[in-house]
């Protein structure tokens, strides 16, 4: 079997996949979220590793230890630090959702290299990405940063940390994860000296960059269940989902509805830097050849449902939202802009705050629930309208992630996009993508064509209603939300 680990934002999933690409065992373990101040989000790296151990142990309990390769995928942009010898972290990791670095970025706008950042990285200047988080630590926690400068502490995204723990110290990342740091040159495929100077980050602290598929390390039996198995697949979670959805051709696209919603479209092997609110990212690197993707990032998707559940207590379980939303014919004129951690693509308004508009005395929790599902679909439409402006038209969209089990959401999405929405048999596309990369890397599947047949479509959704009026109301609400933030 192939073992795959998906170290996500709220928990870690582990799966075992057989030679036919079927998931034969699954484990899952949540880990705590930390919110030290408004707009700050952190994770304890040790708790992430504990969740890795727990989820993998669940798989081992179910099917044993006969693994031929390990694939790893992870939440992106989240950045951590750890001692390169002891692997102990001096502070919590700063999570991709964290917005504390707005001022750090503002202070760099007069630097000579500022105007080159998006051209080099494909990424806008935004707190979302890793580099500014490291710069914040350097400015605010000098004792910790001194150890980074001295070479005793290293830095990396979550894939790098999990690999370090599983191998007892190997310091690597793949090209897809490197491309999310805002320190990586997407044209040369290397760390950028100019960007390292801009953010004042030492090269020696960063991991080596490797292919997304192929044997790049092996687990240490003292650290990883007594196992010595090759690590043969690495990718950021959204790139892994695109791979798991087998979107290997130009124009192929997927949307993952997780904590956020992330839409990626394969744009081939030539980088085209976006100027319309989208970003350019590395989808994967195979045998030294980089495939690129256009991406739009919705910061709050499933997290909005969690907010309704945990903070407003509109229901006790997230899967109750569909029945609640179906109990009304429409949202009753309610529009929810879930900018709970700012607005991502195509707006890039990190300081935006959420708004709930159109309330009346007759508004019920069912109207708010339906407005929340509509908001997820509207945000995805915003991104796809920007993507279509690049000239690559969509005929269909593959979906995955926990919220893709919600039929009402997918019907609303089909109504908004006017294209076929395809949900595969297995919606664990992120973990599957890591498994596919690992299996490809050791020859379980000989080529990309062999992967296409592994996860067929289970259900499709096509347009049934016109959603133009509701979308116009959404655009008005977004403008009002941004105006309120900027007043």
289 CB contacts (<8 Å, ≥6 apart)?
A: 269
Q: What single string gives the DSSP state of each residue in 205-216?
A: GSPEEE-SEEEE
The SS3 assignment for 348 reads coil
DSSP-derived pairing of the beta strands 396-400 and 253-257: parallel
pLDDT tens-digit readout, 136-194: 999 999 999 999 999 999 999 999 999 999 999 999 999 999 999 999 999 999 999 99
CATH number of the domain to which 189 belongs: 3.30.420.40
Distance of alpha carbon 312 from alpha carbon 460, whole angstroms: 33
352 CB contacts (<8 Å, ≥6 apart)?
A: 337, 339, 342, 343, 481, 482, 485
Residue 100 lies inside a defined structural domain of this protein: yes
pLDDT tens-digit readout, 309-353: 999 999 998 889 999 999 999 999 999 999 998 888 888 887 889
> Counting beta carbons within 10 angstroms of the beta carbon of residue 288, is it exposed (0 to 12), middle (13 to 18) or buried (19 or more)?
exposed
156 CB contacts (<8 Å, ≥6 apart)?
A: 79, 80, 82, 164, 171, 173, 206, 207
**To which residue do tokens 């085209």 refer?**
272
**To which residue do tokens 């959404």 refer?**
474
Residue 249 lies inside a defined structural domain of this protein: no
pLDDT of amino acid 487: 67
pLDDT of amino acid 178: 97
pLDDT of amino acid 401: 85
pLDDT tens-digit readout, 279-289: 899 999 999 99
416 within 8 A of 380, measured Cβ to Cβ: yes
Residue 25 lies inside a defined structural domain of this protein: yes
Say yes or no to pLDDT of 195 above 90.
yes
DSSP-derived pairing of the beta strands 230-236 and 69-74: parallel
Above pLDDT 70, what percent of the chain? 100
- End-to-end alpha carbon distance in the chain: 57
When pLDDT is averaged across residues 64-88 and rounded to a whole number, the result is 95
When pLDDT is averaged across residues 423-449 and rounded to a whole number, the result is 92
Range of the domain at 180: 2-238
> Counting beta carbons within 10 angstroms of the beta carbon of residue 446, is it exposed (0 to 12), middle (13 to 18) or buried (19 or more)?
exposed
Residue 227 lies inside a defined structural domain of this protein: yes
Q: In total, how many domains does the chain have? A: 1
Nearest one of 236, 159, 175, 241 to 433, comparing CA atoms: 241
Say yes or no to pLDDT of 389 above 80.
no
Residue 101 lies inside a defined structural domain of this protein: yes
Residue 52 lies inside a defined structural domain of this protein: yes
Q: What single string gives the DSSP state of each residue in 129-190?
A: SHHHHHHHHHHH-HHHHHHHHHTSEEEE-HHHHHHHHHHTS--EEEHHHHTTTT-EETTTTE
DSSP 92: P
Cis peptide upstream of residue 346 (ω within 30 degrees of 0): yes
The SS3 assignment for 218 reads strand
Residue 35 lies inside a defined structural domain of this protein: yes
Residue 102 lies inside a defined structural domain of this protein: yes
When pLDDT is averaged across residues 72-87 and rounded to a whole number, the result is 95
Say yes or no to pLDDT of 212 above 80.
yes
Say yes or no to pLDDT of 486 above 80.
no
């Amino acid at each position: 079997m192939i073992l795959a680990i998906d170290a996500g934002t709220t928990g870690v999933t582990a799966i075992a996949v057989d030679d036919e690409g079927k998931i034969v065992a699954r484990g899952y373990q949540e880990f705590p979220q930390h919110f030290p101040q408004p707009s700050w989000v952190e994770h304890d790296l040790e708790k992430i590793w504990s969740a890795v151990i727990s989820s993998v142990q669940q798989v081992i309990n179910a099917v044993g230890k006969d693994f031929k390769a390990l694939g790893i995928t992870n939440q992106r942009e989240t950045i951590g630090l750890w001692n390169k010898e002891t692997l102990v972290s001096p502070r919590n990791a700063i999570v991709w959702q964290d917005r504390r670095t707005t001022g750090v970025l503002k202070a760099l706008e007069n630097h000579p290299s500022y105007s080159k950042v998006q051209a080099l990285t494909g990424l806008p200047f935004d707190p979302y990405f890793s580099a500014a988080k490291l710069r914040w630590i350097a400015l605010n926690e000098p004792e910790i940063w001194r150890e980074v400068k001295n070479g005793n502490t290293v830095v990396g995204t979550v894939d790098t940390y999990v690999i370090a723990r599983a191998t007892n110290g190997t310091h690597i990342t793949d090209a897809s994860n490197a491309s999310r740091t805002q320190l990586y040159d997407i044209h040369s495929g290397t760390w950028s000296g100019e960007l390292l100077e801009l953010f004042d980050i030492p090269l020696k602290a960063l991991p080596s960059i490797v292919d997304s598929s192929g044997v790049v390390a092996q687990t240490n039996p003292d650290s990883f269940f007594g196992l010595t198995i090759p690590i043969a697949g690495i990718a950021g979670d959204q790139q892994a989902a695109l791979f798991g959805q087998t979107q290997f051709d130009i124009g192929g696209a997927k949307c993952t509805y997780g904590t956020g919603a992330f839409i990626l479209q394969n744009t081939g092997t030539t980088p085209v830097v976006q100027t319309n609110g989208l970003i350019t990212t590395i989808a994967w690197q195979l045998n030294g050849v980089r495939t690129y993707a256009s991406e739009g990032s919705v910061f709050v998707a499933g997290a909005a449902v969690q907010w309704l559940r945990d903070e407003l207590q509109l229901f006790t379980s997230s899967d109750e939202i569909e029945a609640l939303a179906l109990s009304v014919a429409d949202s009753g004129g309610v529009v929810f802009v879930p900018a709970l951690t700012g607005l991502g693509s195509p707006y890039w308004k990190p300081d935006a705050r959420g708004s709930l508009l159109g309330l009346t005395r007759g508004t019920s929790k069912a109207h708010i629930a339906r407005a929340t599902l509509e908001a997820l679909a509207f945000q995805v439409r915003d991104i796809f309208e920007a993507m279509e402006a690049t000239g690559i038209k969509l005929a269909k969209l593959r979906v995955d992630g926990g919220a893709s089990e919600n039929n009402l959401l997918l019907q609303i999405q089909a109504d908004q996009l006017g294209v076929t929405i395809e949900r595969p048999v297995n919606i664990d596309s992120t973990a599957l993508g890591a498994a596919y990369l690992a299996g490809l890397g050791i020859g379980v599947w000989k080529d990309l064509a062999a992967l296409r047949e592994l996860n067929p479509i289970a259900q499709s959704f096509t347009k049934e209603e016109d959603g133009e009026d509701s979308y116009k109301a959404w655009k008005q609400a977004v403008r009002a939300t941004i105006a309120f933030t900027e007043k």
